[in-house]
């Protein structure tokens, strides 16, 4: 009878140890996911700020041009390329298409 109890106790100890190891692995995965979420939230906030600044500058340029003489382009090509490059870095994208997909994943406005 004592042998049976010892066998069951050993099995219970092994099960507890297995569960502790699984919990430690799950905690590590959770921590990595939380870090990734924080990083993406910061990137989204920075991107929204950059877009807001860009929109404000574009609006100011457009309003100034409306008062004077309308022009077809509100931003210079160099400024456009620089801003697109900055957004692609923040979105960790290798192409404008990929940046658009990532922006959609983050729920950014069009």
Q: Report the distance separating Cα 61 and Cα 70, nearest Å.
A: 10
Q: Report the distance separating Cα 72 and Cα 58, nearest Å.
A: 12
Average pLDDT, the chain: 81
Q: Which domain holds residue 33?
A: 2-105
How many domains does the chain divide into? Answer: 1
> For residue range 2-23, what is the model confidence (pLDDT) as tens digits?
788 899 999 999 999 999 999 9
Task: Give residue 66's pLDDT.
Answer: 54
Helices (H) and strands (E) in the chain, counts: 3, 0
- The verdict on residue 110 lying in a domain is no
End-to-end CA distance of the chain: 72
Alpha helices in 68-95 (DSSP H): 77-90
pTM of the model: 0.45
């Amino acid at each position: 009878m004592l042998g049976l109890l010892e066998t069951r106790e050993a099995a219970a100890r092994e099960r507890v140890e297995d569960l502790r190891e699984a919990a430690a692995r799950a905690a590590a995965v959770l921590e990595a996911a939380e870090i990734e979420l924080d990083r993406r939230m910061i990137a989204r906030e920075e991107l929204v700020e950059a877009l807001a600044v860009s929109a404000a500058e574009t609006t100011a340029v457009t309003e100034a041009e409306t008062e004077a003489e309308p022009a077809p382009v509100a931003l210079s090509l160099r400024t456009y390329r620089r801003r697109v490059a900055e957004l692609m870095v923040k979105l960790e994208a290798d192409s404008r298409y990929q940046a658009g997909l990532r922006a959609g994943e983050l729920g950014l406005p069009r």
